Amino acid sequence: MGSLHEGHLSLIKKSKDTSDVTIVSIFVNPTQFGPLEDFEKYPRDIERDNKLLKDLNVDYIFHPSAGEIYQESFQTYVSVNELSKKFEGEFRPEHFKGVTTIVSVLFNCVNPHYAFFGQKDAQQAAVIKQMVKDLKYDIEIFVCPIVREDGLAMSSRNVYLSPEERTKALTIHNALLYARKLIEGKEMNPQTVIDNMRVIFSREKFIKLDYIGIVNAYGFREVDLIEEGNEYYILVAAKIGNTRLIDNELVTV
The whole-number pLDDT of residue 240 equals: 96
Among 72, 93, 97, 86, residue whose Cα is nearest residue 123: 86
Residues 79, 191, single domain; the answer is no
Residues 156, 45, single domain; the answer is no
pLDDT at residue 50 is higher than 90: yes
CATH number at residue 110: 3.40.50.620
The whole-number pLDDT of residue 38 equals: 84
Count up the domains in the chain and report the number: 2
* pLDDT-based confidence at residue 205 (cuts at 50, 70, 90): confident
pLDDT at residue 80 is higher than 90: yes
186 inside domain: yes
Write down which residue in 129, 145, 161 finishes a domain. 145
The whole-number pLDDT of residue 41 equals: 85
- Domain extent, residue 243, equals 149-252
Count the Cβ atoms, other than its own, within 10 Å of residue 236: 26
pLDDT at residue 35 is higher than 90: no
* pLDDT-based confidence at residue 229 (cuts at 50, 70, 90): very high
Residues 132, 168, single domain; the answer is no
Average pLDDT, the chain: 96
SS3 readout for 85-152: CCCHHHHCCCHHHHHHHHHHHHHHHHCCCEEEEEHHHHHHHHHHHHHHHHCCCCCEEEEECCCEECCE
Residues 207, 174, single domain; the answer is yes
Active centre residues (catalytic): 8
